[in-house]
Amino acid sequence: MPSSNISTGNIAIIFLSLFVLACGIARGQNVERISLLVDYESGYGGAVYPVYNPYVFFKNGIVAKEPKVAIDEMDLKARSKDDALRWGTWKRSGGKVVITWDGVNRRGKQETKEADWPGYTAHPAGRNDTLEGAWSSTGGGGNIAFGGSVGVLTSKRFTFTRDGKFTTENLASTTGPNIAAYSKKNTAGRYKISGNVIELVFNSGDKRRLFFCYLGNDKKVMRIAGSNYTPATSSRRNRE
């Protein structure tokens, strides 16, 4: 009988690797589909317009609307009452999906949503995708659309480089180098996108793993956490 050169330590590493692999497989299989479904939201001046938001449909019948963090960091057992309308349950009915939201609205009624199934695809990042240039997200509110005089405009911004840097500073140029902006501790750092996750590691050491997807095959619109971003004129996507 041949002697074995596998030590106890190596056996432990093997079992640990198998455990991690099994957990990863189970986690991936828990998601049925990530779909883009249309919602109607108010924007600048209070005007209502259609917008496509990501919905994560889990195989156990739970659905989460507009995920902010990476899917593998979402705690399905601790759905927050403060965020009740972001969570619900779902079931298919022919070519439709019926969502019943957690909690009740101000009138004490439990709300539902019906949409075409499977909806549009929320595209994950490719294996070698990178980002470049400035990407912005705009929103707003107010009452101009209803005859009022209030208009609120909000804007968020990221600027990325192909070699993995990002900043949230509003740069005058989206193409030239800006060493100072990319060196800031709390507003800049390094990024990586993979699948439905964008990982931001700030120069301060703070690390965030957020939900990510493209809203189309052309990759002209991307989703980071709860906002849709479109590129500035000089921005472009790069795939190695």
pLDDT, tens digit, for every residue of 152-165? 334 588 999 999 99
Contacts 24+ apart (CB under 8 A), 25-30: 27/72, 29/59, 30/58, 30/59, 30/60
Mean pLDDT of 116-142: 85
Mean pLDDT of 40-46: 60
Give the pTM: 0.77
Mean pLDDT of 98-115: 91
Q: Report pLDDT for 195.
A: 96
Q: Report pLDDT for 71.
A: 95
Q: Please state, rounded to an integer, the average pLDDT across all residues of the chain.
A: 78
- How sure is the predictor about 128, in pLDDT bands with cuts at 50, 70 and 90? confident
Bridge-based pairing state of the strands 227-231 and 112-116: unpaired
31-121 has which CATH code?
A: 2.40.128
- How sure is the predictor about 106, in pLDDT bands with cuts at 50, 70 and 90? confident
- Scanning the structure block, which residue is given the tokens 């619109």? 221
Name the amino acid, one letter, at 105. Answer: N
129-239 has which CATH code?
A: 2.40.128
34 touches 55 (CB < 8 A): yes
Spatial distance between the Cα atoms of 197 and 192, rounded to a whole number of angstroms: 8
Q: Report pLDDT for 176.
A: 52
| Tokens standing for residue 47 | 């005007």
Spatial distance between the Cα atoms of 226 and 210, rounded to a whole number of angstroms: 9
Pinpoint the residues of the chain covered by CATH 2.40.128. 31-121, 129-239
Q: Report pLDDT for 25.
A: 33
Please say if the pLDDT value at position 135 is more than 90: yes
Highest mean pLDDT of the ranges 101-105, 124-128, 202-206: 202-206
